[in-house]
Amino acid sequence: MVDFIRIARSIQDHTSIERNDSWSDDSNDGGIDVTFDIFSEDLDSYDISDFGPFKWAENHGMILILDPTSSGYIPVAEVNVHSAYGCQQISLIAIKSEYQRQKLGKQIFDRLLSRGPILSDHSQTPESRSFWSSLLKSGYNVSLFDPRAKKLLNVELSADPRLNEIRSDNPEFPVYGSIYLLHVSR
60-83 residue pLDDT tens: 899 999 988 877 788 899 999 999
Residue 52: pLDDT over 60: yes
Q: Decide which of 186 and 52 is more confident.
A: 52
Q: Which residues contact 177 (CB under 8 A, 6 or more apart)?
A: none
Residues shown for the chain: 186
- Structural domain boundaries, residue 69: 2-81
103 is a domain residue: no
User: Once rounded to an integer, what is the mean pLDDT over residues 165-170?
Assistant: 94
User: Once rounded to an integer, what is the mean pLDDT over residues 122-146?
Assistant: 92
Average pLDDT taken over every residue of the chain: 79
Confidence (pLDDT) at 99: 87
104 is a domain residue: no
Single out the residue in 81, 105, 130 at which a domain terminates: 81
Strands (E), 26-154: 33-41, 47-51, 54-59, 62-69, 72-84, 87-95, 118-119, 141-146, 151-153
Single out the residue in 57, 81, 105 at which a domain terminates: 81
Residue 19: pLDDT over 50: no
Which SS3 state, helix, strand or coil, does residue 91 take?
A: strand
Domain count, the chain: 2
Which SS3 state, helix, strand or coil, does residue 121 take?
A: coil
Residue 15: pLDDT over 60: no
**Confidence grade of residue 124 (pLDDT, cut at 50, 70, 90):** confident
Confidence (pLDDT) at 1: 24
115 is a domain residue: no
The verdict on 126 and 67 lying in the same domain is no
The radius of gyration of the chain's CA atoms, rounded to the nearest angstrom, is 17
The verdict on 8 and 77 lying in the same domain is yes
Single out the residue in 33, 57, 81 at which a domain terminates: 81
130 is a domain residue: yes
> Model pTM?
0.75
